[in-house]
Structure formats: structure tokens, C-alpha cells
């Protein structure tokens, strides 16, 4: 039969390691939440003008897809337009998160 006795030193060490891990995890969780809140604030601050300026920077392929979708205007084309506008917004957010304007 195996000995199930855990010496007190190991038990205290384990508790200390668990506490350190929990403290580090809590700190990381708080940092992640702060980063997410910052990202959401930046997303809310993107204006219509900012979005239009970013659309002017579309690649030729993106411009063509946008204009073709606008001309056809069926349901799948609305999805294409939404995706392109979302890409433009995401570019703005990433640039602002990196510290650029």
C-alpha cells in the first residue's frame, strides 16, 4: 500500500506556489481586461469620416469588390460590403492600438 502522507514542508511549498500562480493569473486577467476595455474604447471612437478615409486606402482588388457589390446590391453583396468596411475599421483600430493615428 502506498504512503499517502505529505510532509508539511511540501504542503506549505505547494500552497505558496499555488498562491503565486493565482496572483500572477489575477494580474494577467486584470491586464487582459484593461487591454480589452482600451480596444473597445478605440472601436467606439472610430468615426464615419475615419472609416471613409480608410476606405480610400483600399487596394485595387478591394475597391473593385466594393464597387461591384454596390452595383449588384443583392444579399451576398451586402455581406461583402460589410466585410470590407469591417476590415477598414479593424485597420484603424490596430493602428491606434499600436500608437499611431
Give first-to-last CA distance, the chain, whole Å.
Answer: 68
Beta carbons of 46 and 83 less than 8 angstroms apart? no
- Residue 73 has a pLDDT of 82
What pTM, to 2 d.p., does this model score? 0.69
1 three-state secondary structure: coil
Please state the domain extents for the chain. Answer: 7-45, 47-101
- Residue 101 has a pLDDT of 63
pLDDT tens for 22-41 read: 778 888 888 999 999 999 99
Residue 13 has pLDDT above 80, yes or no: no
pLDDT tens for 40-77 read: 999 999 999 999 999 999 999 999 999 999 999 888 89
Amino acid at each position: 500500500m502506498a504512503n499517502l502522507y505529505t510532509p508539511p514542508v511540501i504542503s506549505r511549498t505547494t500552497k505558496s506556489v499555488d498562491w503565486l500562480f493565482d496572483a500572477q493569473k489575477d494580474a494577467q486577467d486584470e491586464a487582459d481586461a484593461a487591454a480589452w476595455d482600451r480596444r473597445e474604447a478605440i472601436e467606439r471612437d472610430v468615426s464615419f469620416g475615419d472609416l471613409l478615409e480608410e476606405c480610400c486606402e483600399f487596394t485595387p482588388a478591394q475597391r473593385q469588390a466594393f464597387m461591384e457589390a454596390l452595383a449588384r446590391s443583392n444579399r451576398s453583396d451586402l455581406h461583402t460590403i460589410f466585410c470590407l468596411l469591417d476590415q477598414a475599421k479593424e485597420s484603424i483600430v490596430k493602428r491606434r492600438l499600436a500608437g499611431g493615428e
